[in-house]
């Protein structure tokens, strides 16, 4: 579904991505691991067109490198950035409605608002409350759910469990598994090795702007050298 080949990206003169290759299939959860600053978030932004990509980004057989972010979103890529972008003055329900694509009605895609409320009772309880009063975990859920309302075929989720309670981390993991069940591909940028190894089908480890390891969670568990060199702080 997504095929990234020889992807380079720059911030000013800094060469951040130095030839990244990765692929994701339908219904697959792929974790992108690595220390802070190695280019994991930049990879998502380059796929999304928020940072100019150099190289090839094929999505559902179509080259999207060079397209604008809103065009890429329209083709079916959803992006949940790290900073929990909610509309604080709007209610939970209004935030979810804003996730719909132009002309799309609630329930037309794979997800309905009721699905979101069934998955996260907290959001249902606070459906008509301003989003600014939600806890950090609830805001994270809302951001993910709003992206799903647009019915993407691929979601890229950046550090969804950052700063969340263990209970909320578990809920995020359950949502990610539900996303995969519905045939949606997921690229998960995650710092917590345990959750990534638990739910991902495949993992990529990045270091210095490149992919330094690709394999299954089990293979990574067996490679202490890779974990030591590229993951452990």
Half-sphere exposure of 93 (CA within 13 A, CB side): 8
Reading the chain (233 residues) residue by residue, the pLDDT tens digits are 999 999 999 998 899 999 999 999 999 999 999 998 899 999 999 999 999 999 999 999 999 999 999 999 999 999 998 887 899 999 999 999 999 988 888 888 889 999 999 888 889 999 999 999 998 888 988 999 999 999 999 999 999 888 888 888 888 898 899 999 999 999 999 988 888 999 999 999 999 999 999 999 999 999 999 999 999 87
This prediction has a pTM of 0.91
2-230 maps to which CATH number?
3.40.50.300
Domain ranges of the chain: 2-230
């Amino acid at each position: 579904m997504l095929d990234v080949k020889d992807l380079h990206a720059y911030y000013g003169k800094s060469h951040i991505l130095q030839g990244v290759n990765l692929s994701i299939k339908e219904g697959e959860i792929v974790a992108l691991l690595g220390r802070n600053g190695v280019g994991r978030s930049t990879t998502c932004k380059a796929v999304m067109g928020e940072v100019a990509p150099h190289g090839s980004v094929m999505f559902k057989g179509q080259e999207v490198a060079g397209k604008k972010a809103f065009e890429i979103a329209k083709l079916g890529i959803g992006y949940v950035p790290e900073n929990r972008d909610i509309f604080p003055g709007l209610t939970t329900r209004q935030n979810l409605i804003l996730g719909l694509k132009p002309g799309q009605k609630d329930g037309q895609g794979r997800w309905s608002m009721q699905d979101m409320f069934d998955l996260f009772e907290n959001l249902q309880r606070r459906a008509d409350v301003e989003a600014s009063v939600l806890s950090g975990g609830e805001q994270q859920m809302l951001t993910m759910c709003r992206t799903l309302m647009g019915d993407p075929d691929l979601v890229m989720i950046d550090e969804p469990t950052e700063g969340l309670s263990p209970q909320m981390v578990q809920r995020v993991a359950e949502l990610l598994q539900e996303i995969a069940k519905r045939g949606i591909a997921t690229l998960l940028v995650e710092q917590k090795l345990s959750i990534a190894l638990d739910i991902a089908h495949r993992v990529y480890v990045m270091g210095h702007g490149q992919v330094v390891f690709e394999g299954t969670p089990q293979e990574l568990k067996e490679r202490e050298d890779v974990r030591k060199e590229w993951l452990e702080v």
